[in-house]
Structures are given as structure tokens and as C-alpha cells.
Structure 1
Amino acid sequence: MTTNEVLVLDGELLHEGASSGSPLMRPVEFVAAILLVVMIGLLLLGVTSRYALHLPIVWIDEAASFCFLWFAMLGSAIAIDRNEHLRLTLFLRMVPDRLTGYVTALALVLVATFLGAMLMPSLDYVMEEWAVTSAALNLPMSFRASALPFGIVLMLVLVIANLFRTSSLNQIVQAVLTVAVVGSALWLLSPVLEQLGNINIAIFLCGFAALFLVLGVPITFCFGLAALSFLVFTTWVPLIVMVGRVDEGMSGIILLSVPIFVLLGCVLDATGMGKAIVDLLSTMFGHVRAGMSWVLLGSLFLVSGISGSKVSDMATVAPALFPEMKRRGHKPKEMIALLATGAAMADTVPPSIVLIVLGSAAGVSIAALFTSGFAIAMVLLLALAILAWVKARHENMDGAMKASWPMAGKAALVAAPALVLPFLIRSLVGGGVATATEVSTIAVLYAMVIGAVLYGGISLKTLYRMLVETAALSGSILIILGTASAMAWSLTQTGFAFQLSTMIAGLPGGWVTYMIVSILIFMLLGCVLEGLPAIVLLAPIMFPIAKAVGINDVHYAMVVVVAMNIGLMAPPIGIGFYIACKIGNVSPDEAMGAIWPYLAAMVIGLLVIAFVPALSTILL
């Protein structure tokens, strides 16, 4: 992994040696941080007014929505400045050295081409929105929509600056000529392409997207370029429609909880609340055979229920447990395998960012997903715990002592405030007391107050840094959702979804066959695309078909999420596997052979979940 290579997992970021951003972006970072604080303040005001004063404030959601789109676009620009957009670099390492510069320049020129092509349609979109006024604030929606062209211009300037900073003039000219020649050829062939029908899906929405991914274009722009080229060269659909789909995909009100839960994970890391839970579990199970493995799994389960961030979970748990596990004879590669699959296991524990996005994209109740997610994670936890117990038969237990009651009591006392959070989140959302967005703000406020009072607090400098990091990460997530939504819309407008539904309905085996096909598709996409874009891309197609063949939405959602997470951790492509290796400081080549038994345990758990629907619906 290079020093500025970035891996994103379900919206969580792990970057090593990434730039802190250019000085010219400091005002943008400050505005993004302020917008995040304002959104949290508005949501807290709305919750307090409704429940404490019994006085709903009707304009809160509109004001938060205005801020949210600006926050998302500024955050995406910050992510470009910091080189923190998700891209696949596996194939770039295979490119001969003499071509590396050209390929890098080509990727940047492609990104600039997409942004340049979207600029005028985004300005047209702003003009169209001027005639629409918000219901409560009575403001033209253009004030909100202006974030799109502003963010596009800012990103375009940053991409061009990066292009001239990292590539030679000769490489830039070659890349520009390549894009110009291919684009001109496709334009001349457009009358022919229009006659090809659904073959264009394979050419543009599949083939082009895959090609851009191989070239190292960030996934956001892979989806955007694929949808753009499909609409420009094979249809007469105006690009302003695509801008509208991007807007709708990245700024749904339920997605407001994404940056706030990301911030919550940062707060937990900074205050040490997550480590307090790990220490408590160590005192409870650390003295028994396989105890440290169980502590690791249990810690991931509980900490995930607080932060919703797999990277945050792994970074909290691994440093606290790995030294003792090594002392007891656990091999580093086995520890990495357990860490990676344990993080995948815990992804359905609320507040899961994946579940929030899935609920938004597929129209499934977030409360129902959060309630079901606990039961599903327990099934996978049991499968991994049994395997860990079997593998621990040769564990060295010398020196392992049961914690004294006073020590256990002290650990429980320290961890108790942190342990309240996952149950608070689940009970408020599952009980219908508050939405996931509102609960996210309550959780952040709780963590900030408890962290300040009991865990040492957070300095203003650290808090500001966390706000900016949250903006960059959230922007890179949200714009992926926007361009993936545009690509998904392009796909559905072809009628392909209806044809696919008809074809699947004719397969023998009914819902069982469809479930098997779905597992294979989402495991494959989990390897290549990462969870969030795969969900937004396929949810509008796959979920209606699942309902048509008689599969419960929540049950299907659980299967989809688990299948994607297995793919995410599966070498040699799965991004999550490499993140776990980096956190544990273990070579991927060394850990690759050890992870397969754990993935097999996850697959067994997945099959049980898939073919015993009651596990997903029993708590609903």
C-alpha cells in the first residue's frame, strides 16, 4: 500500500500518510465543519422541541436539507484535495512502469471530463429550481441546488491542479487526446449504438464502469462516467435529468445520519469509550480457553453497535487485544482473519451505516433493519465463536488469571456509560421514539458529554480536526450514492429490470433459486465495489424482484448485507481484508491462507440466515 493510497470500507476511511489538505482549502474545511455543527444543532433543536416542549418546528428538516447538500459537496471537494476518494488500485500495480504516468493522467482527465460535462446541466438545474420554493421556509430551492455547480467547479479546479502537479505535459496531452478520440468515435457511432438496445447496458453501464475501475478512476466517477456516456451516446435524455438523480441520491433526509454516525465513531475513538468496553470483556472472558478470541468478537459486536464504523471498530479492538493474544500463542495471521470476519459479522449491529443507506435506497424501515440486525449478528457471532474455540485447543494459558471481583467491578463501572449507547440507539429507533437521524444526534451529544465528564474529554483542536475528517469521509460516501443512483436510474429506464424480473420468475426453484443467485451477485460485488455503491446500484432492481417471489424485505436485506461483507473480506480483492491487515501490521500474503476457514464459517451462517427467514423476522 502506498503512502497516499486510500481504502474506504462502508463509508469508513483508513488512510496512511494522506495529505491534511492544501492551505487554500482551509476556508472550505472551516465552512464544512460549521455546516456539520449547524445540522447537529438543528436536529437536536427539533428533537428537544418536539419531545420536551411538545412543539414541532416544521422548518427544521428543510433547513437541515439546505445545509446537507452544501456539506456533501464541500466534503467531496475536501476528499479530492486529500486524495481520499475510494478507488481500486489492485490493477494499477500490474501496469508497466513506463505506462503508470499515462494511466494516472488518463484517470484524472476522465474525472475532469465528467465534472466538466456536468457543469452546465447543474447550472440549468439551479435555474429550474428557482421556480420551486420550499414549503416551510418559502425560499427558492436554487439556494440549495447551487451547491451542485459550486462543488463541481471546486472539484474540477482541484482535479486539474492535481493533474498538472502529478503528470508531465506529454502525459497530459496523450490522455486528453485519448479521451477526445474515443469520445468523438462514440459520438459518430451514436446512431448505430441507439439501435443496439440492451446491449448498450453491457457496453456502457457494465463494460465502461469496469474499465474505469481498472484504470484507477475513483468509484464515484466510474459510476458517473458510465451513466453519462450511456445517456449521451445512446439516448436523447437531457443531462439535467442526471443531475436531478445525483441530487436525489446523495441528499435524502435519512442520509443525514451518515456523517453524524461517522462523527460519533471519531468521538468514541478520541475519548476511549470503545476501549473501556474491550477492557470489560477482557476481565470477563480473558482467563478461559478461546477467551481472548471471544473478547475480540464480543468487542467488535458491542463497539460496532456504538460507532457504526468497521475501521473504527478494528482500530479500537486490535491494539488492545493483539499483544495478549500473541502471548497465548495465537498466530498473527489467525488474529487478522478473526478481526476481519468479526468486523464483517458486526456490520448488521445498529447503528450500521450500511443499513441506513440500504433502508433509504430500498424503502425498507430503518427501525425494522436495526431490530433484525441484532439477531442476524448473533447467528454469525455464534458461528465464528465456535470456530475460534476449535482453533484454540493449543492455546497457551500459562499466566492467564481470572480477574478479581474488585477489578471486574471497576472495569464494569468504567465501561457502563459506553455500554448504554448501543442499547439507547436500538431502543429509540426500534421503539419508534425517534428516527435514525435524530438518534444519531442524541448519541453524539451523549458521547460528547459523557466523554467530557468521565473519559477526559476532547480538545477543541481535536474536535475541529474530527469535524473536517467527517466532512471529507461523508462527502466521499454521499457523492458515490449520488452517481450510483444516476447509474441505477439509467439502468431501470431501459426496462432491463422488468426483463430480469420476468426471466428470474421463470427459473425453477422459486425464491430459493433467487436467494442463491442474489448471494453470489452481492458477494462478487462486495469484492469489487464495496458495500454502499453496490447497494444503491442494485437495490432498486433486486428488492422488487425479491418481493415478487415472496421474500420479506428485511430478510432479504440481511442476506444482502452479510453476503456483501463476506465478499468485502475475501482476498485477493476484498478491500476490508487489506484494511484489517494494515491495522494488525500483518502481510496480506501471510494472512490470506488463514482467513478461508473463517469465511467458510461466515458462509455457513449466511446460508442459515438465508434459508431460515424467521431469524430475520422473529423480533419484528
Structure 2
Amino acid sequence: MIWLLFIVFIVCLVLRFPIAFSLGISCLAYLIAKGIPLIVLPMKLYSGIDVFVLLSIPGFILAGNLMNYGGLTEKIIAFCNHLLGHIRGGLALANIGASMLFAGISGTAISDTASLGSVLIPAMRKEGYDPSFACAITASSSTVGPIIPPSVPMIIAATLSGLSVGRLFLAGALPGLLLGAGLMAVTYYLSRKRNYPKHERSSFRQIAKGFVDTFWALLMTLIILFGIIGGIFTPTEASIIAVAYALLIGIFVYKRLSLKNIWVLVLDSMKTSASLMVLVGFANLFGWILITEQMPQLVSNEILNFSENKYVVLLLINLLLIFVGTFMETIAALLILFPILLKVSMGVGVDPIHFSVIALLNLMIGLTTPPLGICLFVSSSIGKVSIGSVSKAGLPFLAVSLIILALVTLFPEISLFLPDLIMD
């Protein structure tokens, strides 16, 4: 009956049902067909979300919304423009730099694309950048966010695997910085080739003022990261501290928050968190069915029967995750595939922390892989440019992302250096 589960799930996706509903409907069809009591559905749905570390996600979402509404997006963009604007293609480079700084606030690629893209894509078009290039660089740079800590997908991965959140956060830092540097190198080359504009060099005073404006956001990231790594507080406690911090900064420093808009942001964060928790719950039921049908063992055996070479196995996993990432939301893909593929990778001697970074990097790249990458659609919608032209303009960025993926896959030290240095 496992075929019925997948057929219904794929049909729902084709009909553009939300991922959570696609999972729920396919699971319901399977339970009815197998004659399994439907009481299993609420039991497994609840057990999927009854995990302490998942309580941190609503807090991080709310903290990100509070900081973003408080005017942080514009301040980050302005600071990066002061630093990089005098270089050829400076605003495009600032786009990438803003994504790297914004990573500590949003933690998700799609929110990064939407938040920064709504400001930067019109600004880049106004300065004479090709619209498809502006959309492509915004979508591509947004994938850096969930790699650099703190990261919501990394919290999900830690929940699924029992790994340390702190170690995962540290493991993503160098790959994220490497990805950002690679995207900047391609952007600089294309900007010089196409003679994109540059600004006058900012004064030291302007740069210092921009740093002070963004310092509070950077400080929140450091508090979260080193608080978790140092064992001062758990990820859940860190999320509450982040909310309190964001409120204080938004009210007393940026002075953009009031009781009225705080309530709106709380409601919006509740909606986002609720939809995510429903997704987690149904994915847990979906995973329980896969385990019942012994799908993890089947997938593991098939891959290992094909080859037991570590690098061949990782290549197959990379191809699968990039493909899945093109049409499935990152967290849903993690919930369904991560436990299965983690077992396979560990079977050939891959460190679980290293594999977690590989998996997340793959799924991020999938978000910008034509023709279905979700971030491509978001940026093309903002820029009012066809998805085809955005996909074409994004190919150089996709190429460098794949190179970084290959380096991270082949050299575990890139991911494991900081966790081993700081936490061992």
C-alpha cells in the first residue's frame, strides 16, 4: 500500500495543495486503505510536535519579525552599501552582504528573499542593473541565510537526529561564509564585465554610523549563538531571550515598535508557527508510515547495493536532495528524508554533523535550481520578471553554489573545524 501514499502525495503536489495538506491527505488515504484505526492520526501528529526544542521556533520567528519591522532591513542594506558601494557592482555585493547579516535575524531563505528583495530589487533596477540579474542575485544570496547560524532548518535537523544544536550552528558558519564569498566573486566578475554602477566611497563616519545601526542585530546573533554553545541556555530559552531583546531594541533603540504593531506581528508569527507545526506533525505521521513499511531500510539497501564508496553515496544523496529541494519546502524535505539519508550516510562513515550541513546546503541550492526553485519564483514575482529569464541569469550563481557544495562534501574539515575547535 506504500505506493498509494506516494501517488496521493504527488497528485496533491501537482494540484498545488500546501505541503502540509498533501502529507495529511496522503497519510489519511493510506490509513483508510490499510484499515488502521484513525486514532493513530492525532496521536502521531501530536507526538511529532511534542519536542522541547521545537518550542524555540515560534520564538525565533517572532524575534525575526520584530527586528525586521523595527527597520533593521534598511539599516543592514545601508551599512553593506557603505562598505561595498564604491566597488563595481557595489549594490549587488551589498545584496549578498545583507543576506549574510540578515541570516541571524530571519533564519529562512524565503523570508530573506521576500524581505530584502522588496527593497533591493527595485533599487538595483533604478540604478541600471538588469532586472533578471537583480532577481537572480537576490534569490541566490538568500540561500546563505539558513546556513549561517542561527538557523531554523538546523534546529529541525538537530531535533530529528538528536545532534547538538550548538555544534550544528558552528558547523554551518564556515560553509555559509564560503558560499557568500563565492557568490560575491561571481557578482564582482559579472559587474565588471557588464560595467554595472558604483558609488562614491563612503566616509569613515558613514561606515561607523552604519555599523552602530546594525550592531544591535549582530549582538543578538552573538548572544544566541554563544549562549547556546556555551551552555548558558537552551535553544528554547535563547528564542525567548531573542524576543525580549528584539522588543527592547525595537521600542527603545530603533523606536519603530508600538503596542499596536507588536500585536500584529505576534499574530503573524503565530500563523507562521502554527502552519509550521502542522507541517511537522503530518511529516511525523508520514515518517511513521515509511518506517512501518521499512522504507528506510529499503532505501539504504538500494543505495549501498549500488555502491559502498562514501563519495559515490554522497554524490547520489546530493543529486536526490537538490532534486527534491527544487519543488519541496526545505523543512518538509528535511522532515521526510533527513532521518533516512542520515542513516545511509553514517553507514559509510560520514560524520552526522558533516552530513547535516551537506543536506541543508543541498536543499538551499534546490531553492534556486530551475525550473521550480521557490526562491526564484519569489524574486521574479517581486521584480515582475519571467521565471525563465531569472533562471538563466541565476546559472552562474548556481554553478558557484555547486562548487561550494562539492568542497564541503569532499572536505569535512570545512564543517567540522569550528565545532571541534570550540566545543571539544
Please classify the TM superposition score into its range, dividing by the shorter chain length.
Answer: over 0.9
Find the aligned partners of 2:312 and 2:388 in 1 and give their Cα distance: 35
2:107 aligns with: 308
Structure 1 residue 542: deviation in Å?
1.4
1:370-422 Cα offsets, whole Å, 9 max, x none, are 11111110121122111111101145576721111222222222222222122
1:215 aligns with: 15
1:615 aligns with: 414
> Is 1:579 aligned to 2:381, yes or no?
no
- Residues 496 and 324 of structure 1: CA distance in aligned 2, closer, same or farther (over 3 Å): closer
> Is 1:282 aligned to 2:84, yes or no?
no
Structure 1 residue 536: deviation in Å?
0.8
Match of 1:475 among 274, 278, 282: 274
Larger CA deviation: 295-304 vs 268-277: 268-277
- Residues 495 and 322 of structure 1: CA distance in aligned 2, closer, same or farther (over 3 Å): closer
- Residues 589 and 503 of structure 1: CA distance in aligned 2, closer, same or farther (over 3 Å): closer
Q: Where does structure 1 lack aligned partners over 5 or more consecutive residues?
A: 1-199
SS in 1 for 2:143: helix
| AA matched with 2:32 | V
- Residues 519 and 257 of structure 1: CA distance in aligned 2, closer, same or farther (over 3 Å): same
Match of 1:540 among 326, 339, 363: 339
Alignment of 1:432-447 (within 5 A): 432-447=231-246
Alignment of 1:19-34 (within 5 A): none
Q: Is residue 129–residue 196 contact of structure 2 (8 Å, CA) maintained in 1?
A: no
SS in 1 for 2:174: helix
Q: Is residue 370–residue 429 contact of structure 1 (8 Å, CA) maintained in 2?
A: no
Alignment of 1:20-419 (within 5 A): 200-201=1-2, 203-234=3-34, 236-322=35-121, 325-326=124-125, 328-394=127-193, 396=195, 400-419=199-218
**Which 4+ runs in 1 deviate beyond 6 A?**
none
- Residues 311 and 491 of structure 1: CA distance in aligned 2, closer, same or farther (over 3 Å): closer
Alignment of 1:442-453 (within 5 A): 442-453=241-252
1:602 aligns with: 401
- Residues 223 and 315 of structure 1: CA distance in aligned 2, closer, same or farther (over 3 Å): closer
> Is 1:589 aligned to 2:404, yes or no?
no
1:83-121 Cα offsets, whole Å, 9 max, x none, are xxxxxxxxxxxxxxxxxxxxxxxxxxxxxxxxxxxxxxx
Find the aligned partners of 1:220 and 1:415 in 2 and give their Cα distance: 36
2:305 aligns with: 506
Find the aligned partners of 1:530 and 1:305 in 2 and give their Cα distance: 20
Alignment of 1:452-531 (within 5 A): 452-531=251-330
Find the aligned partners of 2:366 and 2:196 in 1 and give their Cα distance: 34
Structure 1 residue 297: deviation in Å?
0.8
Q: Is residue 245–residue 485 contact of structure 1 (8 Å, CA) maintained in 2?
A: yes
1:151-176 Cα offsets, whole Å, 9 max, x none, are xxxxxxxxxxxxxxxxxxxxxxxxxx
- Residues 282 and 224 of structure 1: CA distance in aligned 2, closer, same or farther (over 3 Å): same
Q: Is residue 290–residue 395 contact of structure 1 (8 Å, CA) maintained in 2?
A: no
Q: Is residue 280–residue 408 contact of structure 1 (8 Å, CA) maintained in 2?
A: yes
RMSD over aligned CA atoms reads 1.9
Structure 1 residue 339: deviation in Å?
0.7
1:518-548 Cα offsets, whole Å, 9 max, x none, are 1111112112221111111112211122112
Find the aligned partners of 2:138 and 2:196 in 1 and give their Cα distance: 21
Find the aligned partners of 1:317 and 1:354 in 2 and give their Cα distance: 20
Structure 1 residue 338: deviation in Å?
0.8
- Residues 531 and 296 of structure 1: CA distance in aligned 2, closer, same or farther (over 3 Å): same
- Residues 492 and 472 of structure 1: CA distance in aligned 2, closer, same or farther (over 3 Å): same
- Residues 218 and 399 of structure 1: CA distance in aligned 2, closer, same or farther (over 3 Å): closer
| AA matched with 1:506 | N
Higher relative contact order (CA 8 A, sep 6+): 2
Find the aligned partners of 2:327 and 2:405 in 1 and give their Cα distance: 19
Q: Where does structure 2 lack aligned partners over 5 or more consecutive residues?
A: 420-424
- Residues 503 and 316 of structure 1: CA distance in aligned 2, closer, same or farther (over 3 Å): closer
SS in 2 for 1:619: helix
1:270-325 Cα offsets, whole Å, 9 max, x none, are 11123222211211111012332221111101111122133443344335444553
2:221 aligns with: 422
Structure 1 residue 255: deviation in Å?
1.0
| AA matched with 1:423 | L
| AA matched with 1:443 | A
1:59 aligns with: none
1:439-486 Cα offsets, whole Å, 9 max, x none, are 111111111101111111312121111111111111111111111110
Find the aligned partners of 1:571 and 1:508 in 2 and give their Cα distance: 29
Structure 1 residue 330: deviation in Å?
2.1
Query: In the comparison of the two structures, how many residue pairs are matched?
Result: 419
Find the aligned partners of 2:299 and 2:206 in 1 and give their Cα distance: 60
- Residues 327 and 554 of structure 1: CA distance in aligned 2, closer, same or farther (over 3 Å): same
Could you tell me the TM-score, scaled by structure 2's length? 0.93
Q: Percent identity?
A: 28
Structure with the greater alpha carbon radius of gyration: 1
Structure 1 residue 254: deviation in Å?
0.9
Find the aligned partners of 2:119 and 2:107 in 1 and give their Cα distance: 19
Structure 1 residue 493: deviation in Å?
1.1
Structure 1 residue 560: deviation in Å?
0.8
- Residues 220 and 284 of structure 1: CA distance in aligned 2, closer, same or farther (over 3 Å): same
1:41 aligns with: none
1:10 aligns with: none
Find the aligned partners of 1:368 and 1:297 in 2 and give their Cα distance: 25
